[in-house]
């Protein structure tokens, strides 16, 4: 059904389709080509980008921004209030990029503090019942299988795959191109390129299948195998492992691993004891 702009006083274009039962705040900014299904609720100051499809019974809460070409399925709730008991009931945001698929009953909480953001990047697939808590930042091309649950302030890079029913502790960081098996309990940071599974989670090796799918060369994979052996099979302190990582051929992948391992962590690195890097003078290579 075509919406009547004079009745609803919305910022929408003529080819936008809004079901007659949808409830949309006057301040919402609805772009060209958007389709909004039955009983959808769109809150105040929401922005919805071109060609996004929102199916029946979804809720887009206040101050949420959704990019272009997304598909939000039945019953998903975007930008709901943080479940952090310390959060202040002030304006905060949920920002979602482009071309994401958000399946049935996904919940994404807005940030817990005033003027801060929960952010989802581009081209992600969030399967049914995924929960993204307050202040999480998710990169691009990640796959979250059914019923994956993230605590607050989690940071995800790009092109990770998380198996169903996995739980990610608050403040955990996950790099790029990792594979987390189903039913995994993740309580510490996961470096890029590795496969993790179990309860408690353990690093099993290099994510070879995922890397091949993403066109990593044999040479790149072999370099990461060597890095894995240094980090997880040498029984060296992390400071000594880092010295050996610097001795490898300098590649984007190795530099990325070094950067991840030396960045500040609230949870520590999976499979490693608490780190003491004070004895090790981190070189300028970390600025790459």
Residues involved in catalysis: 134-135, 152
The string of DSSP codes covering 219-231 is: HHHHHHHHHHIII
Distances (CA, A) of 102 to 11, 98, 109: 24, 11, 14
DSSP H or E stretch at residue 252: helix 252-262
Q: Are 144 and 122 in contact (CB under 8 A)?
A: no
What DSSP string runs through 253-286?
A: HHHHHHHHHHS--SS-BTTSPPP--TTS---GGG
Q: Which residues contact 70 (CB under 8 A, 6 or more apart)?
A: 49, 52, 53, 96, 98, 99, 100, 101, 102
Q: Are strands 201-206 and 194-198 parallel, antiparallel or unpaired?
A: antiparallel
């Amino acid at each position: 059904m075509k919406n009547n702009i004079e009745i609803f006083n919305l910022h929408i274009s003529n080819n936008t389709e809004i079901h007659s039962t949808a409830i949309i705040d006057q301040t919402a900014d609805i772009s060209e080509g958007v389709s909004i299904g039955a009983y959808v609720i769109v809150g105040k100051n929401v922005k919805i980008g071109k060609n996004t499809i929102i199916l029946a019974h979804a809720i887009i809460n206040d101050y949420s921004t959704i990019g272009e070409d997304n598909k939000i399925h039945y019953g998903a709730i975007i930008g709901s209030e943080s479940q952090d008991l310390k959060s202040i009931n002030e304006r905060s945001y949920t920002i979602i990029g482009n071309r994401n698929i958000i399946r049935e009953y996904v919940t994404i909480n807005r940030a817990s503090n005033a003027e801060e953001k929960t952010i989802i990047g581009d081209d992600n697939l969030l399967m049914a019942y995924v929960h993204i808590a307050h202040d999480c930042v998710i990169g691009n091309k990640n796959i979250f299988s059914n019923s994956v649950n993230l605590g607050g302030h989690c940071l995800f890079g790009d092109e990770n795959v998380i198996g169903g029913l996995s739980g990610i502790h608050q403040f955990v960081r996950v790099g790029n191109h990792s594979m987390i098996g189903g039913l995994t309990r993740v309580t510490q940071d996961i470096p890029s390129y590795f496969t993790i599974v179990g309860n408690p989670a353990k690093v099993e090796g290099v994510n070879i299948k995922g890397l091949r799918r993403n066109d990593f060369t044999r040479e790149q994979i072999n370099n990461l195998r060597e890095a894995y052996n240094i980090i997880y099979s040498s029984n060296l302190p992390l400071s000594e492992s880092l010295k050996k990582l610097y001795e490898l051929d300098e590649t984007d992948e190795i530099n990325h691993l070094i950067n991840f391992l030396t960045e500040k962590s609230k949870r520590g690195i999976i499979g490693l004891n608490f780190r003491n890097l004070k004895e090790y003078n981190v070189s300028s290579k970390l600025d790459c």
